[in-house]
Amino acid sequence: MIPIQLTLEGLYSYQERQKINFENLTEAGLFGIFGSVGSGKSSILEAISFALYGETERLNSRDKRAYNMMNLKSNKSYIEFDFINFENKKFRATREFKRNSKNFEDVKTPSVTFYEWKNENWIPLEHSNAEKLIGLSYANFKRTIIIPQGQFKEFLELGATDRTNMMKEIFSLQRFDLQNNVSILNSKNRSELDQLEGQLKGFEEVNEEEILIQKDNLKIEQQKFEDAKIQFKKIEEKYIKLKSLKEDFEILNQKKSEFDKLNQQKKEINILETKTEVFDKVFRIFTPLISEKNKLQKEISEQRKNKETQFKIVQETKIRFEDIKNKLSAIQPKYEALNQSKTQENDLSLILQMQKFSGEIETLKERTKKGSEKVKEVETHQKLVQQKIEDLSKNAELLKPKKLDSNLLLNAGNWFTEKKKLKENLQNQTGKIDSIKIEVGKISEDLRPFEINPETFRNDFKTQTETLENQKKTLSEKRNHLEVQQKLAHFANELHDGESCPLCGALEHPNIVEFDDVNTELNEIQKKIEQIEIQKEKIQKHSLEIEKILDRKKIFEEQQKSEEENLKLIQTQIEEHLKNFSWTEFNSENQNDFEEKRQQSFAIEKQIEELNQQIGLEQKNLEKERENLDNYNKALEKFRLDEAKKEEQIKTNEANLKLLSWLDYEKKSIAETEEIYNKLSQSNRETEENYLKLNKEKEEISPKLAEQKTIVDQLEKRISELEKEISDNKILIENSLSEQKFSTLEQTLQILAQEINVHETRNQIQQFKIQFEIIKNDILNLETKLKDFSFDEEQFAETENQFKAFENDLKIVNDSVVKIATEIERLEKEFKKKEDLLKDLSQLQKRAENLKIMTNLFKGAGFVQYVSSIYLRQLCDHANVRFHRMTRNQLSLQLNESNDFEIIDYLNEGRSRSVKTLSGGQAFQVSLSLALALAESVQTNAQSEKNFFFIDEGFGTQDLESVNIVFETLMNLQKENRIVGIISHVEELKEKIPVSLNITKDEERGSLIEIV
């Protein structure tokens, strides 16, 4: 993960919105975040962790986290974090929570949203799971990327199980945890075995002998079927002929019965046909005439009703029109005098303004009088403040000559501090050299028991080893010779006449060689060879021990040489430093005198500062008094201007009066004038509104009245037209009745009342005639066909019984053949299935044996622990590359048999000890080495181009030289494409790091961030 940008507001000590652009910082490869204790450095890491995971190291969900994280002066907290993940994709995480306006301690649950940068836009994601995006849980995130305060040693001190789980997640070792997979496969295989064994129990009676028996039975039944089929065919032909004859006689009888029924219906059909023709003729002639008559009668009735209604409306409209005309005549005189009345209303409005201005002028005069008195009071107070400022300035000037120059104090103080520091370094360096000399002496004592010459011991041991090798070679050759002799003696003892020799193949053995027993001599030689091997191992062991001791001695001697050079350098620095003392006011050997004078100067400076603060306060008061004086003068001027403006407005209004006089109303109250004005204004408004309303109604009703009169005239004309059309229709009906020989219209109505469906009735009659002719023809044909035949019911019954009996026999034989054939087919399929099941059973049994072996192999996640230990050892090797350098080759890290970390101490004969025995500084060094190695492994596993790593502690436990070594280590990471961020308050680091953030805490604004 690579950070891009962090925005935070209202979080911990961050009150105002602050933004960190990490791109400039990460380009440097190494950057720092510096600030005093409590300034808000660690809060930056807390913000990143909380934005991604909703978790923080300081607080959990039970600690009222949202309330305690929010700045007490803020009502909203906001975090926005942009980063690039291991897939080189850009994401944003935001979290925001707000304070309840009604309850200060109630902070609502944070809202969280994750985004992905796609197509130049932030697209919201459906989840807020940072583990999916970064590939690490929160616990492992704070072990490998952002390591908060107090957690730096956590990975080092984790138990074996927890560390295995961590390695499992980071390096995806779960792919080696095959226990569940094997267990599933084993269960599945066991289930399949049980199923197969259960299936095979159902195939116990399926065999080849049973199939052969069934095939013999099939041949017998097939012969029976052929015989039965011949007999059935004969009787079937006879039965079919008799059955056909019977069916023909039955059909003839049925047709005759149907024909008799149709004969009876024929008279009714003829009557229906006559009625239908009459109805059709009357319907076509009279229906249009009757419909027209009804339509005209209905329309004339409606038009007469409309005429009555419209006539009534005309009368009502006339009455209303006359009423409006009368009202207009009554209001006309008042409307004509409206202009004069409105002029009077306008005069009253002007008089009301003049009365109000008169009252306001009196108020302004009173305020002007009071303001003049206040101005005099402020001028007096201003003079007193001015005098106080002058007195304080004189006191400050008297103190200034007594104060020493601040640069002088700073430079001299730095000189004394540096002198003290150099003396301490000299003392520490001397102690280090003495300690190393003691260790060198101890190592020399360790070499004394071996009684060797350190310069020649390697050649001496080599000579001894070569001598022993020659002795071993001689004894081995002699042993080989004796073993050959022993083997030949064995062959000689086994030779017998008539049996071939295993060496030459001869069958006769005339001169068999005799050999002495060499077993005792062989045993003695073997013991001598073993003694030589023991001596060689002893020499090799001594050589290794001596090499180890000499290596340690060399390390300490080199270290002693290096420390002595450092001691000389410190002594030179002290001499140079003493030469730089150039202040006559102080004694270089008396730091206490300097401190006393510095404190006196500080006290004077504090007095001057307090006087300056008082002067500043009084100047602010003076400025405030001046502002007040200006404001009062401006207010007085405004009062005078307003008074003049209002007097001028009264004169203007008086000149604009047309009908009324100001003198008549000058003594009246505003309330009286307002009452007169309101009554006149309301009367004018009502007069104008009523006149316009009545005039509008008159204009609207006049055209309506004319329109309604026209409608009545049109209705009368239409009624006359309809009466003529009714008369014409009546004549046409009478002519049609005469032509069709009907005396009255009621006769036609009775015929039409039958409501005969002519089309359907004609179709029904036509169908009847067709059916009648068809049955008649069928009877003639059947009588002709059966003229020479007769039908015997008893003969047919006897033949039918024979047919059914033979048919039943044939069915029984056929069912038997089919049943046996089906059984043979089933047995053959079952036999084939049985063979396949036996093959599968054999394979599953073999697989069960293999799975049993795999179950034992992967049981209890043993294989994962084995792979984890390999990764841990690689991690340990990578960490030791840096740890050796940081500890000057004095310590290294290793894993014991329980996969727990141990320290190898080369200053104590390379013995191992617990990591818990390390000092704070050493623990930081090994933890940093492990963390860097772990970060490298994570990067390699994630295949990311760059990797980011944040450190939030530890440098305060290191001495100056260790800080330099650690810093050099971190600088080298830049060449390895690593990015490291450091949070610290160690000034030596701040001077070395090229780019950093400086966190300061302002009492009013909270924590502020600036790039240095």
Q: Which of 855-869, 937-951, 977-991, 993-1007 comes out lowest in average pLDDT? A: 937-951
Least confident of 144-148, 272-276, 592-596: 144-148
- Between 18-22, 284-288, 859-863, 948-952, the lowest mean confidence (pLDDT) is in 859-863
> Is pLDDT larger for residue 572 or for residue 366?
572
| Average pLDDT score over residue span 68-74 | 86
Q: Report the share of the chain in percent with pLDDT over 90.
A: 4
- Checking if the pLDDT of 648 tops 90, the result is no
Per-residue pLDDT at 153: 65
Highest mean pLDDT among 42-51, 726-735, 883-892: 42-51
- Looking at the chain, the number of H-run helices and the number of E-run strands are 23, 16
Return the pLDDT at 24: 81
Q: Which residue has the higher pLDDT, 379 or 499?
A: 379
pLDDT at 1009: 87
Strand ranges in 126-224 using DSSP code E only, listed in sequence order = 146-147
The average pLDDT across 388-408 equals 75
So what's the pLDDT on residue 503? 47
- The amino acid that residue 163 corresponds to is R
Would you say residue 511 has pLDDT above 60? no
Question: What are the DSSP calls for 422-460, one per residue?
Answer: HHHHHHHHHHHHHHHHHHHHHHHHHHGGG---TTTHHHH
pLDDT at 141 exceeding the cut of 70: yes
Instruction: Report the 10 Å Cβ neighbour count for 571.
Output: 13
281-313 tens-digit pLDDT: 777 877 787 788 888 888 888 888 888 888 888
Per DSSP, the three-state class of 11 is strand
d(CA 34, CA 960): 18
pTM, two decimal places: 0.37
Token pair listed for 137: 């849980």
Using alpha carbons only, give the angle 30, 34, 36 rounded to the nearest 5 degrees.
165
Q: Would the pLDDT of 275 be above 50?
A: yes
Q: How many CB atoms lie within 10 A of CB 110?
A: 19
Query: CB neighbours (10 Å) of residue 177?
Result: 16
Residue entry with tokens 């009253």? 348
What's residue 80's pLDDT? 95
Stronger pLDDT, 661 or 973, i.e. the higher one: 661
Look at residue 498 and tell me whether its pLDDT is greater than 70: no
Dig out the tokens for 555 from the structure. Answer: 């390390």
> Is pLDDT above 50 for 980?
yes
Question: Rounded to an integer, what distance in angstroms lies between the CA atom of residue 681 and that of residue 342?
Answer: 8
pLDDT digits (tens, 9 = 90+) for 541-573: 888 788 778 877 787 888 888 888 888 888 888
Q: What is the mean pLDDT of residues 383-401?
A: 76
pLDDT tens digit sequence for 525-543: 888 888 888 888 888 888 8
pLDDT confidence of residue 938:
65
Phi-psi region of 978 (alpha: psi -120 to 50; beta: other; left: phi over 0): beta
DSSP state of 757: -
In single-letter form, the type of residue at position 162 comes to: D
Residue-wise pLDDT tens digits, 148-207: 555 556 667 777 677 777 777 667 676 777 777 778 888 888 888 888 777 777 777 777
Residue type, 605: E
pLDDT digits (tens, 9 = 90+) for 754-777: 778 878 888 888 888 888 888 888
Distance in angstroms (rounded) separating the CA atoms of residues 556 and 548:
12
| Residue-level pLDDT at 208 | 75
Structure confidence at residue 113 (pLDDT): 92
DSSP letter, residue 976: T
Q: What is the mean pLDDT of the chain?
A: 79
Q: What's the pLDDT score for residue 367?
A: 76
